[in-house]
Structure 1
């Protein structure tokens, strides 16, 4: 009987030690993911009705993200965000996400790319001047972006 009791104690001890090792491994693997970055490329100027290419390179650390869940371009004329247009991007051979757009009238427009990838979301934004469009006081500079990261 003593042998059986000792054997049970040894087995229980090994089981507890194994469970503690798994708990530690799970904790180490739940580090927060690196943020995704979206490099939005938009021409600074274009002519009315000229087709322009909107390009976004998505990365996570050093890795190019070619498996984004969604990449959409939101485009609106200065002061008319409520009339924005959404354009779905397509992936090219290099892993960039692209869309094409022609603007029908002069003005300053904003292009904001919405990228959802690997449980994260980011939304950089840049302006583009079409034809004789004149920036207003509220127009952003080409370097200004609006970004945030959130876990999905």
Structure 2
């Protein structure tokens, strides 16, 4: 009977040792995976517009899109949505031209004095970013 107990005890120790090594391997994989999330790359959009323009002046709205250190030349969406401050329900959306160097541009003429708010809607690399900017037209006060 002592031999049976010794065999059972040996098998139990062997089984526990095997489970223990699997836990360490799983923990290592989990740690490796969590370190990857610290290195996620964000889609960045820099809006380049003048602060103030005259009524009736044609102005270039420009967005520079990057993903990490890489220029994004293949954005799925890049447009500007703009509206007179306080009147977002009457916004206008204009498509940009892809310049092939990570920059996207469109020319717009503001016919009325005022402060205009805008979003630079950008979708690329599975992410969406929409930084907000504003431009003052004429002698309007912000």
Structures share a fold, TM > 0.5? yes
> TM-score, with normalisation over the residues of structure 2?
0.71
**What is aligned with 1:61?**
68
CA distance in 2, matches of 1:44, 1:115: 21
Answer yes or no: is 1:79 the counterpart of 2:86.
yes
Residue 129 of structure 2, aligned match among 122, 127, 149 = 122
List structure 1 runs of 4+ shifted beyond 2 angstroms: none
| CA offsets 1:66-99 (integer angstroms, 9 cap, x no match) | 1110001001001001100000111114330111
User: In structure 2, what is the equivalent of residue 148 of structure 1?
Assistant: none
Q: Does the residue aligned with 1:43 lie in a helix, a strand or coil? A: coil
State the Cα RMSD in Å. 1.7
Count of residue pairs brought into register by the alignment: 109
Distance in 1 (CA, whole Å) between partners of 2:105 and 2:94 is: 10
Q: How many angstroms does 1:126 deviate by?
A: 0.9
What's the TM-score once normalised by structure 1's chain length?
A: 0.67
Which structure carries more helix by proportion?
2
Distance 1:133 1:77 in 2: 11
| Matched residue SS, 1:75 | strand
Partner of 1:37: 44
Query: Is 1:104 aligned to 2:111, yes or no?
Result: yes
* Structure 2, gaps ≥5 residues long: 1-28
Higher-Rg structure is 2
Which residue of the partner structure matches residue 10 of structure 1?
Answer: none
Q: Distance in 2 between matches of 1:108 and 1:36?
A: 27
Unaligned runs of 5+ in 1: 1-23, 136-152
Counterpart for residue 102 of structure 2: 95
